[in-house]
Amino acid sequence: MQRPVAEIFSQGDEVVTGEIMDTNSAWLSRELTDLGFDITRHTAVGDRLEALVDLLREISGRADLCMCTGGLGPTCDDLTAEAVSLAFGLPLELDADALAQVESYFTRLGRTMPEVNKKQALFPRGSERLDNLWGTAPGFALQGGGCRFVFMPGVPSEMKAMFRRWIEPDLRCRFRLSPARLVVLNTVGLGESSLQERLNQVVLPSEVKLGFRAAGPENQVKLLFPATFPETELDDIVKRAADAIGDAVFAIGGSEEPDSDLASVVGRELAARRSTISIVETVSGGKLASRCAGQPWFHGAVVIPDSAGLHRYFGMAPWDDLVRASTRIVLDSREQGADYALAQIAHYDGDQLHDEAGTVEVHFILSALDGVWRQTRLIAGDIERKRSTATALSFDLLRRYLQKKPGLHAL
């Protein structure tokens, strides 16, 4: 079966001049590929009416689907609706519901809608409105020539939310898709080359495609199976791949499963136990708290910049041994009434953190109901990598404890 052809189109001077990285296109492409579309082209153009009109017409003759982002705002450089109107000869009409939505967005903020925002409720005749519950700019979809166009705001969070809520279900109904089956093994703590080496021992049939997605300490191994691949054979291959990688695998799932990152996996385990956790973070510099905040199991965090800070907040001296130092932090966290306390203890200063060639030895400490557990790792790389690694390894200690993995060290 021929897959339907899709193109991706981004609008904005800030994209063509390189001021911002167009992350939307890559995200949408992955989603559409997983759904079973054949993506043939990405195009980005600036905020110029003729360029937009030309491009829309071009695409309408080439693709079955076009996903468009940007250009739906209230200002003079937001030209999408006007361009669509000109490209396909559809007059702009005021959508009363869209107007009410934009107005209510401002009302909730206790403000009156500025006159310029009225523009955001103008759509080409025949459009289907796509409500934006996450921002001001509603989207719309319509048929232009042989192609279905879907127009979304350029703000990634709004675009993604609208895609999940309205667009993805509609695409599944509207197109005859037979997606390949993607199985993702989520791993933590192993680099791409280590993963590749461990997987070399697994013999894959030629029609199964192996891929990797490196994202720092959390890396994904992707197995892409044809739609008609036998189920039992698939299960067997996935099991052999997971065994080859070992306990670095923390979750196995399809691509459509959202929240398959380590923080979400750990969060679900905590939520299921109705447990709470309090955090003391050093090297990860607020990143760990950011990943926990907003979750019912998050009890609070202290973010400490360096060893001097550990002394200020917990009276911890550099000559304290690990047990003594940890005890103070654990006791302090327990005072706040959390079920678990997760801490990073390390001796370092700011220069060491910033030095790309410098390493920091970090003790990850978990105080649980049945004891205090520890994992010690040397962390390297630039400051961002050190922060991400420390964040992932904190979650990983908790994950190994909650999933009852062997090899945990008691303090």
Q: What is the DSSP string of 270-324?
A: HHHTT--EEEEESTTTTHHHHHHTTSTTEEEEEE--SHHHHHHHH---TTS-HHH
Which CB, 200 or 232, lies closer to a second copy?
200
Q: Which residues, 6+ apart, have CB-to-CB distance to 324 below 8 Å?
A: none
Residue ranges in 116-155 that form contacts with a second copy under rule CB under 8 A: 116-117, 133-136, 155
Shortest distance (Å) from residue 283 CB to a second copy:
9
Residue ranges in 195-254 that form contacts with a second copy under rule CB under 8 A: 196-197, 210-214
Q: Burial of 106 by CB count in 10 Å (0-12 exposed, 13-18 middle, 19+ buried)?
A: middle
Which CB, 11 or 127, lies closer to a second copy?
11
Which CB, 71 or 142, lies closer to a second copy?
71
The stretch near a second copy (CB under 8 A) out of 113-121, 122-130, 365-373, 400-408 is 113-121
Residue from 40, 34, 37, 42 nearest 3 by CA: 37
Residue from 11, 27, 129 nearest 70 by CA: 11
Residue found under tokens 């809608």: 113
Residue 79 binds to a second copy (criterion: CB under 8 A): no
Asked if 390 contacts 281 with a C-beta cutoff of 8 angstroms, the reply is yes
Q: Which of 157, 178, 201, 403 binds a second copy (CB under 8 A)?
A: 157
Count of Cβ atoms closer than 10 Å to residue 353 Cβ: 20
Residue ranges in 33-62 that form contacts with a second copy under rule CB under 8 A: 33, 39-48, 51, 55
Residue ranges in 309-328 that form contacts with a second copy under rule CB under 8 A: 309, 312-313
Q: Where are the beta strands (DSSP E) in 88-171?
A: 92-94, 122-124, 128-130, 139-144, 147-152
Count of Cβ atoms closer than 10 Å to residue 231 Cβ: 9
Residue 357 binds to a second copy (criterion: CB under 8 A): yes
Which CB, 380 or 411, lies closer to a second copy?
380
Which CB, 207 or 235, lies closer to a second copy?
207
Asked if 43 contacts 10 with a C-beta cutoff of 8 angstroms, the reply is yes
The CA-to-CA distance between both ends of the chain, in Å, stands at: 59
**What is the distance between the alpha carbons of residues 93 and 91, in angstroms, rounded to a whole number?**
6
Contact characters 17-36, a second copy, x per CB under 8 A = xxxxxxx-xxxxxxx-x---
The stretch near a second copy (CB under 8 A) out of 139-147, 167-175, 261-269, 377-385 is 377-385
The stretch near a second copy (CB under 8 A) out of 89-97, 188-196, 266-274, 323-331 is 188-196
Residue 178 binds to a second copy (criterion: CB under 8 A): no
Which CB, 236 or 384, lies closer to a second copy?
384
Residue from 110, 176, 105 nearest 134 by CA: 105
133: number of CA atoms within 13 Å, CB side? 7
Shortest distance (Å) from residue 403 CB to a second copy:
25
The stretch near a second copy (CB under 8 A) out of 86-94, 103-111, 266-274, 398-406 is 103-111
The stretch near a second copy (CB under 8 A) out of 86-94, 139-147, 242-250, 381-389 is 381-389
Asked if 182 contacts 30 with a C-beta cutoff of 8 angstroms, the reply is no
Q: Which of 69, 80, 85, 255 binds a second copy (CB under 8 A)?
A: 255
Asked if 10 contacts 154 with a C-beta cutoff of 8 angstroms, the reply is yes
The two tokens of residue 117 are 């925002």
Asked if 328 contacts 310 with a C-beta cutoff of 8 angstroms, the reply is no
Shortest distance (Å) from residue 166 CB to a second copy:
15
Shortest distance (Å) from residue 85 CB to a second copy:
21
Which CB, 195 or 402, lies closer to a second copy?
195
Number of shown-chain residues binding a second copy (CB under 8 A): 104
The stretch near a second copy (CB under 8 A) out of 263-271, 301-309, 322-330, 400-408 is 301-309
Which CB, 7 or 95, lies closer to a second copy?
7
